[in-house]
Amino acid sequence: MSKNLIKRVLALVIFAVLVFSLVSCTKDAYAPVGMKRITNKDIVDYTMYVPVEWTEDISTGIVTAYYSEKDRSNISVMAFDLDGDNLNMTVDEYWTDYKEDFIATFSDLAFEAEGEATLVDKIAAKKYVYTATVTGVQYKFMQVVTITNGTVYVFTYTSTPDYY
């Protein structure tokens, strides 16, 4: 082999090693085993992980992912800022207003848990579990609501009762 060919092959190998090492750096070191990050930090200020086989959708600014085409069990996170007189709103006050909309929308709304204390990233939150029929299909929902620094975060898991 000529020296020029050896140099070219060596340069190509070094380039390939650099490219692969840079690609491997993009993996999220904090993702739990079997999970992937679906949050777009350019759109939202939180990080969310889902199982690697779930399908993600962050195109609307609401971070969502679903299990499969056959089983549309899904999760979503919404975040929005409070304003005006609502800046100091509590989760209980927020839920009271939100619940009125649910009652008006779902005629068969039934709660299994309402206002159960929990934590989201070490911040006080409340969990609500309920069932309701949407377009003729019964669903079971779990919502966890927290408010921090004037922003309401609503995590929702939705599934049919069989898959819940």
| DSSP per residue, 87-103 | TT--HHHHHHHHHHHHH
Q: What is the pLDDT of residue 42?
A: 67
Report the pLDDT value the prediction gives residue 31, as an integer from 0 to 100.
Answer: 80
Does position 22 have pLDDT exceeding 80, yes or no? no
Residue 13, SS3 per DSSP: helix
66-89 pLDDT tens trace: 999 889 899 998 888 998 888 889
pTM: 0.76
126-148, pLDDT tens digit by residue?
999 999 999 999 999 999 999 99
For residue 138, CA distances in Å to 82, 133, 141 come to 31, 4, 10
Q: Residue 61 in contact with residue 53, Cβ under 8 Å?
A: no
Distances in Å between the Cα of 35 and the Cα atoms of 1, 52, 148 are: 47, 5, 26
Exposed / middle / buried, residue 62 (Cβ in 10 Å: 0-12, 13-18, 19+): middle
Per-residue pLDDT tens digits for 38-70: 876 666 777 888 899 999 877 676 788 999 988
The alpha carbon of residue 118 and the mean position of all alpha carbons in its chain are separated, in whole angstroms, by: 17
Asked if 90 and 98 count as a contact pair (C-beta separation under 8 A), the reply is no
